[in-house]
Amino acid sequence: MRILAIDTALGQCAAAILDVASETTIAAEAIAMERGHAEALLPLLDRVMARVDGGFHSLDRVAVTIGPGSFTGLRIGISAARAVALAIGIPAVGVTTLSALMAPLMEDGPKRLTVAAIDARGGRVFVQAIGPSGRLIIQPCVMTIRDVVRNLGSGSVALVGPGATMIAAEARAVGIDAVLHDDLVLPDLAWVARIGAAAEPDEALAKPYYLAAPDARPQDGARLARL
């Protein structure tokens, strides 16, 4: 299966084309950025696809990170992924950023409690934690850093994701052995492709996984009393 993987949900604008069966990356490019994904993605996609024999029409599937992450960022990647899928009639599947971040440590079974964390601002993180047995310890949610650490127990913890350093500091302060994986700060596109290739298109929809409601409240204050 030849798959196009896209990630614009966090601090990079990245695309890669992989042949999943042979585990080879055909072409890939990633640019580190906190903003500007919208302007960068399509020129990047154009450059990457130019290096692929057969171009877009040789693809079997598109996989995209769906969040949690920057609301705007993830919508850009999803819009592009769904448009590719529409244009050439292939499935687009969604991969959560949290599962993509953790995947490299899950390959041979997790050796210790593994936590993926993404800054959600205001002392909170988008977080997911999986125990050594593969059991879900914290299901994906938004949590304060303090609450995350309270849920970790006392054993050794592996930390991944752009929010990992925030958790590490707090965990170490209470005596937890926190192992920071500096190389797993952003989703690895090869893993996005692998997870995406294994997913069921009907279940792993390429739709945003925000984990947070829009910041808006119904307004009634302006209305005058009525008889």
Partner 1 sequence: MRVLGIETTCDETAAAVVASGDDGRGVILSNEVFSQIAEHAGYGGVVPEIAARAHVEAIDRLIARALRAADVTLDQVDGIAAAAGPGLIGGLLVGLTTAKTLALVARKPLIAVNHLEAHALTPRLTDEVAFPYLLLLASGGHTQLVAVRGVGDHIRLGTTIDDALGEAFDKVAKLLGLAYPGGPEVEREARRGDPERFALPRPMMGRPKPDFSLSGLKTALRIEAEKVAPLTGTDIADLCAGFQAAVVDVIEDRTRVALRDFRERVGRPTALVAAGGVAANGAIRDALARLAGEAGLRLVAPPLPLCGDNGAIIAWAGLERLRLGLTDDMTAAARPRWPLAELEAAPPAS
Residue 144 CB, shortest distance to partner 1, in Å, is 22
d(CA 193, CA 27): 12
Residue 84 CB, shortest distance to partner 1, in Å, is 6
Please report, for residues 10, 142, 144, the alpha-carbon distance to residue 147 in angstroms, rounded to integers and kept in the order given. 23, 10, 5
- Span from 19-27, 41-49, 179-187, 189-197 in contact with partner 1 (CB under 8 A): 41-49
Q: Does residue 59 contact residue 85 with C-beta atoms inside 8 Å?
A: no
Give, for 15, the enclosing helix (H) or strand (E).
Answer: strand 12-19
d(CA 42, CA 201): 24
Other beta carbons within 10 Å of 31: 14
Residue 126 CB, shortest distance to partner 1, in Å, is 17
Residue 176 CB, shortest distance to partner 1, in Å, is 36
- Binding marks (x or -) toward partner 1, 73..112, rule CB under 8 A? --xx-xxx-xxxxxxx------------------------
Does 122 participate in binding partner 1 (rule CB under 8 A)? no
Residue list 163-222, contact with partner 1 (CB under 8 A): 207-208, 210, 214-219, 222
Closer to partner 1 by Cβ: residue 87 or 198? 87
Closer to partner 1 by Cβ: residue 9 or 157? 9
Does 121 participate in binding partner 1 (rule CB under 8 A)? no
The partner residues of 63 in beta bridges, in order of sequence, read: 5, 93
Q: Does residue 62 contact residue 197 with C-beta atoms inside 8 Å?
A: no
- Span from 70-78, 93-101, 131-139, 176-184 in contact with partner 1 (CB under 8 A): 70-78
Does 50 participate in binding partner 1 (rule CB under 8 A)? no
- The residue from 42, 106, 169, 198 that contacts partner 1 (CB under 8 A) is 42
Does 31 participate in binding partner 1 (rule CB under 8 A)? no
Q: Please give the order of strands across the beta sheet that includes 157-160.
A: 136-144, 124-130, 113-119, 157-160, 178-180
- The residue from 41, 167, 176, 178 that contacts partner 1 (CB under 8 A) is 41
d(CA 126, CA 122): 12
d(CA 102, CA 142): 17
Other beta carbons within 10 Å of 171: 21
Residues at the site binding partner 1, with contacts judged by CB under 8 A? 38-39, 41-43, 45-46, 49, 56, 71-72, 75-76, 78-80, 82-88, 207-208, 210, 214-219, 222-227
